[in-house]
Amino acid sequence: TIRDFVEEFTLADGRRIYLLADGRLINLAAAEGHPAAVMDMSFANQALSVEYLVKAGRSLAPQVYRVPREIDEEVARLKLAAMGIAIDTLTEEQERYLASWEEGT
């Protein structure tokens, strides 16, 4: 064993084989990858971004784009809803405060 979840085997001709996590999915068996709770949001973001590209692609210039804010916010909203959490909305007073340079530090 070289380190946790990594075994080294030396073949008769001197070559080496490294076996990770007993041949299982390394991010699940060795817990060194991203947890499913993170990956589901990543995959949702990717899937919705591909849908966006399919729908809007012909009107987009060939360049790198950020994920549209609406997609990020929808993925966050859905994840929080699945966890039983809702995002608060700002009151009018909070909106005014955030838009103002006259209050706060």
How much is the pLDDT for 37? 74
44-76: per-residue pLDDT in tens?
Answer: 999 999 999 999 988 999 999 899 999 999 999
Are 81 and 40 in the same domain?
yes
Measured torsion, CA atoms of residues 35, 69, 62, 42, in degrees rounded to the nearest 10: 10
Q: Domain count for the chain, please give it.
A: 2
Q: Judge if 24 and 57 occupy the same domain.
A: no
Looking at the fold, whether 44 and 83 belong to one and the same domain comes out as yes
Q: Which two tokens stand for residue 48?
A: 């919705």
Q: How confident is the model at residue 1 (pLDDT cuts 50, 70, 90)?
A: low
Domain-located, residue 94: no
Residue 100 lies in a domain: no
pLDDT at res. 87: 80
- Please state, as a whole number, how many other Cβ atoms lie within 10 Å of the Cβ of residue 23: 9
Residues 16, 47: one domain? Answer: no
